[in-house]
Amino acid sequence: GQSLEQPSEVTAVEGAIVQINCTYQTSGFYGLSWYQQHDGGAPTFLSYNGLDGLEETGRFSSFLSRSDSYGYLLLQELQMKDSASYFCAVDNYGQNFVFGPGTRLSVLP
């Protein structure tokens, strides 16, 4: 079976830093992706980790540890527009994707 776990909700204030964790148990693994989804919108790609370590893209960074089956998304200098749901997704041997249940981030003024 395949399963991913994420916290259901995270709350932080503008300007703060927040980390959203993802642990996974999958039969196949090429890499870990992160997607953002605003209410009523479509998921949009944020980042991908195929190798262990940190990937940085502007205010967002993502980390992967294959040995721990663990990754996280780090959002810095939070803005109100970052309020959204964030999903981790495992690339299942390049065949398809398995998505986590999502973490709803609320950014407070």
> What mask of x and - would describe binding to another protein in positions 49 to 68, judged by CB under 8 A?
-x------------------
In the complex, least distance from residue 99 CB atom to another protein, rounded to whole angstroms: 4
> What mask of x and - would describe binding to another protein in positions 70 to 109, judged by CB under 8 A?
-----------------x-x-x--xxxxxxxxx-x-----
Q: According to CB under 8 A, which residues from 1 to 20 bind another protein? A: 4
Stretch that binds another protein, among 16-24, 43-51, 61-69, 75-83 (CB under 8 A): 43-51
Task: Give the phi and the psi of residue 60 in degrees, each rounded to 5.
Answer: -105, 140
Task: Give the phi and the psi of residue 99 in degrees, each rounded to 5.
Answer: -95, 145
* Tokens 């148990």 -> residue: 25
The residue type at 57: T
Whole-number Cα distances in Å, 37 to 11, 44, 57, 65, 80: 16, 6, 17, 24, 14
In the complex, least distance from residue 2 CB atom to another protein, rounded to whole angstroms: 8
